[in-house]
Amino acid sequence: RKRRRSRRGGDPAAARRPPLPAPSAAPSAVAAAVSPAKLPSHQPLEPSATMATAPYNYSYIFKYIIIGDMGVGKSCLLHQFTEKKFMADCPHTIGVEFGTRIIEVSGQKIKLQIWDTAGQERFRAVTRSYYRGAAGALMVYDITRRSTYNHLSSWLTDARNLTNPNTVIILIGNKADLEAQRDVTYEEAKQFAEENGLLFLEASAKTGENVEDAFLEAAKKIYQNIQDGSLDLNAAESGVQHKPSAPQGGRLTSEPQPQREGCGC
């Protein structure tokens, strides 16, 4: 009888121990609880040293705008520059589009923030607000449509009035691959550029000819203005931000991204 009471009562200390976890608590369930996908969106993961050193190791940010009539190929030029691809069926931009790319000028990494504006007259009031604080402006016309060339004076007036005096403006004759359909000569466009103090080249968003040069030449001129002191980096309207590169193994705080207006066309 005493033995039966002893077995039935058990060890009092064992009764106070917490029960062991059930075998069903598999590691996969624990991993799911701490998976990054389960973290709240407002708690981003800390970047690693590798993430901190690339691709954010740029020294400057230059703001660009692309202006010109509807259908001259502004969005196609931007896509060719940022994606190295040609969009055969490129819809007209509604409002503005935005793209970025990091380039190198004189050993300095520079991030280009490029705003592609709509060419339709009904969007001019909206897109004019993006001229402010632009370090560079790409003014585009279509070499096969003289009307787009004839409207350059209006686009240039807006650029001069709404940007700072040191904004670098480059004139681009797009669709240079359509030589047989040319309606604007190279010589007259070059003369227009020289008379107005503009950089100038012809390019093709389709073949990629001179697309790289169009963006790089403007950046080189902006960087030159920084070096000779004609561009005040402390002025908000300069269109340039100086952002020292992150040290090796250092951390970077998240950089706010400009918001995109309109639809992505």
Domain ranges of the chain: 60-242
SS (H, E, C) the chain: CHHHHHHHHCCHHHHHCCCCCCCCCCHHHHHHHCCHHHCCCCCCCCCCHHHHHCCCCCCEEEEEEEEECCCCCHHHHHHHHHHCCCCCCCCCCEEEEEEEEEEEECCEEEEEEEEEECCCHHHHHHHHHHCCCCCEEEEEEECCCHHHHHCHHHHHHHHHHHCCCCCEEEEEEECCCCHHHCCCCHHHHHHHHHHCCCEEEECCCCCCCCHHHHHHHHHHHHHHHHHCCCCCCCCHHHCEEECCCCCCCCCCCCCCCCCCCEECC
Confidence (pLDDT) at 99: 84
What is the band of 126 on the pLDDT scale with cuts at 50, 70, 90? low
N- to C-terminal Cα separation, the chain: 89
CB atoms within 10 A of CB 76: 22
CATH 3.40.50.1980 for the 60-242 domain, yes or no: no
Q: Which residue, among 87, 77, 81, 62, has the nearest Cα to 119 in the 3D structure?
A: 77
**Cβ–Cβ under 8 Å, residues 249 and 50:** no
pLDDT winner (highest mean) among 49-53, 94-98, 233-237: 233-237
**Cβ–Cβ under 8 Å, residues 166 and 225:** yes
Q: Which residues pair with 201 in a beta bridge?
A: 172
3-state secondary structure of 132: coil
Confidence (pLDDT) at 20: 53
3-state secondary structure of 158: helix
3-state secondary structure of 226: helix
At 210-250, the pLDDT tens digits run 999 999 999 999 999 999 988 888 887 888 988 765 544 43
Q: What's the token pair of residue 50?
A: 């590798």
At 129-143, the pLDDT tens digits run 778 889 999 999 999
60-69, 202-211, 219-228, 252-261: the lowest-pLDDT one? 252-261
Angle at 58 between CA 54 and CA 61, to 5 degrees: 135
Q: What is the largest CA-CA distance in the chain?
A: 118
Confidence (pLDDT) at 26: 42
Backbone torsions φ then ψ of 86, nearest 5 degrees: -105, 130
What is the band of 259 on the pLDDT scale with cuts at 50, 70, 90? very low
Rounded Cα gap, residues 64 and 153, in angstroms: 19
Give, for 138, the enclosing helix (H) or strand (E).
strand 136-142
pTM of the model: 0.69
> Between β-strands 60-68 and 240-242, what pairing exists: parallel, antiparallel or unpaired?
antiparallel
pLDDT value at 168 more than 90: yes
